[in-house]
């Protein structure tokens, strides 16, 4: 599959496209008020979740 497949699927379906925009706007609003929450989100999404996937893949 092409790396662009996910982009085509998500942006090809209107409700998913709108959902992503709403989620991004909400995250920006929360992050502008609570900096610690924004940092926690970045750590979780870019370090913890990938680390968990790498750890699980090493077990298999």
The range of the structural domain enclosing residue 39 comes to: 5-59
**Residue 36, pLDDT score:** 95
**Residue 48, pLDDT score:** 96
Express each pLDDT in 7-58 by its tens digit. 888 888 889 889 989 999 999 999 999 999 999 999 999 999 999 999 999 9
- Among 9, 45, 13, 15, smallest CA distance to 27 is for 45
Cβ–Cβ contacts within 10 Å for residue 20, how many?
Answer: 12
**Residue 1, pLDDT score:** 66
pTM of the model: 0.64
Count of domains in the chain? 1
**Residue 40, pLDDT score:** 93
Spatial distance between the Cα atoms of 33 and 38, rounded to a whole number of angstroms: 9
């Amino acid at each position: 599959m092409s790396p662009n497949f996910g982009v085509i699927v998500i942006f090809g379906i209107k409700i998913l496209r709108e959902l992503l925009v709403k989620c991004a706007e909400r995250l920006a609003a929360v992050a502008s008020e609570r900096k610690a929450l924004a940092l926690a989100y970045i750590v979780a999404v870019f370090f913890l979740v990938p680390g968990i996937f790498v750890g699980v893949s090493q077990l298999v």
